[in-house]
Structure 1
């Protein structure tokens, strides 16, 4: 019984020692066996491993690809146009021994801070050697590759392998955004003003051409109307001349009545003359002191010809007026349509 009492604690101590001497290396990690802070073994293969209890300790590091977001930094390209760049990097611990020696007990957190410094410095150097147009273009993979290649050598001193570096966003600083927007807005407004000016100029040309066309059409219509009216007047006068030539007495009577009509108007009814004047021959006697012979009736053909000529003159006047109105309306419609098209094109240019 006494022997068992002594053996049981020893067995427990031995089992505890064996348990503390064993440790498992996961396939997603690497392990360092440290003895008094010095690396004595590196365990990279997954499975069971051994260490000396109480003397040695195990430090584990992630063997997977890690991601690190770099704090946004401000860079100044060659054209002195400041930009705010947001980037991230993917890396892994390639040499755990060198990594432990470089960062000490700080581990991954210390390594990430030092990696941030390396990436920020290389990003400023690479992006400062090109223009902002190259940085903002869609084809900037070459710049990211340059940043990665430049940072690889310095990262090796930390036992790290940089796999990739990417630029997530490239923007203007907040204090420059408003000025940039104002400049872009002013540029668009200037282009819109130029478009409107060109539209108004073209509209003026169209309007001038339309006005000239209206004047030409009206002039041509009036000319044709005057020609038709002159021909009608000539035909009418010819008919009157032939009619009056057949009866001079009727012609004299007709001329006297026309003179009475023109002279004895309401606004010109005061006359001073001798009552025996020949002007009143047809007023003093029914025959005017002469034998009045009723005028012979005009031939119906002449009457029809005179009426036809007068009707043609009236139709010519109406046609001239209609042609002028149609030309004016057509010109105004063309001008309005052109102005609307120009305004819409200018507004589309402003919105785009």
Structure 2
């Protein structure tokens, strides 16, 4: 079995589960030894006890799979805005170098930009295969947590990583096109799409119980969203639309924490049409999802969302729920028409589509279309694909 180092400059523990958690936790359970370098990107949201945080090591961290043999190593952090990011190349390079030498790393997988760049340079020095695992337009997402005048540098580093990685794995067609536009080799860019644990989503039979717990009536039409509640998620606009039209027979159920949680929580205290739960354990997601009638992705059509296909869409479809989404290029290219997803241009149109589905008794039928479309997306299959690509990269590097 391989010794794998995964590098990302965001939080492995508090964020997710994302694609990387599903893949590497399952690889860890199969017997691979996996170390993760991460960065506590939300440190400023917690009480600051000092300006310097020493290295931390976390073991037995599980998002989706127990006994996964993953160790998370969090390099020191200088807890001063901007300097926290600027010192990543120093602290993270030292930590990556130690792991490479002490753990006999055989392949490095980079997920983001800044510390991934450091890992790429060290991979060249130690002649270790380097895979760039792209699940987002990284430099676009960076705009959320670094000043705008550094975004040009972020894109320069992203292009460098793309051009000098041994291989690139992305999660959808739109991101593959994005990689190629930035100079990536089509022959070295592969797709391992987002997946789902079908058994978990098919076995949930708790609809009546969870709806009763949340105060949802049998005839209420529930529009469901789960995940991080970003400012650009469109949920603020949807919630306000619902409140401005009190006669609408529709309610919003948002499961997750994040930027918009305090605002949505304040609305939920004024009306029963907005329901929020905060973050819930991942194992309980199928239970909450069973309460839904229609799942939604009313996200802004911005640079961050243009090419991605959120993993939540696959989970919605695996549960047999129809989905209404903003017509994002990445999502539309991935699923097209008549495959369980309907598209809208604004939250008003989203609500009207949902009401028509209920009125015409089409909720179940469209949900089944989506379920049939994603049946080949089981994680068991996709992890094997990722594993094969990774091993082939190592083999090719040895030949070279």
Give me the TM-score of the superposition, normalised by structure 1.
0.17
| Structure whose residues are more often helix by fraction | 1
- Structure number, greater radius of gyration: 1
